[in-house]
Homo-oligomer: A and B are copies of this chain.
């Protein structure tokens, strides 16, 4: 398996184990010194133990589904569908993988819906 395939596999397994709340499986994918960042809130979590705790304590009956994974050597990006009840939100997640194939950095973006500015109605359609 080449580096890109290994990275893609790690990202798929990351989403799958998180969705299943299989913290043992998730733990095996993570570097000990994994860094998790949410730039929108300027929050950072350091280390596997804290990151696993963050995920296991995360409130709500949330569900994750992969919509797209783009892998490139030891980097990847995933577009996820995150659902709580009937509410869907897209997440953009950036990954870095160590030489050993462990996930060493995760950067999460949670873009929220908003109303479009006026002045471009002549160019766009809405859905």
A71 interface hit (Cβ, 8 Å): yes
A45 interface hit (Cβ, 8 Å): yes
Closest residue of chain B to A77 (Cβ to Cβ) is B77
A68 interface hit (Cβ, 8 Å): yes
Q: Identify A43's interface contact among B46, B119, B124, CB under 8 A.
A: B124
Further pairs besides A57-B120, A68-B94, A72-B72: 17, Cβ < 8 Å: A39-B90, A40-B113, A41-B115, A43-B116, A45-B125, A46-B125, A54-B123, A54-B124, A59-B119, A70-B77, A71-B72, A77-B94, A92-B109, A92-B111, A110-B111, A111-B112, A112-B114
Number of copies: 2
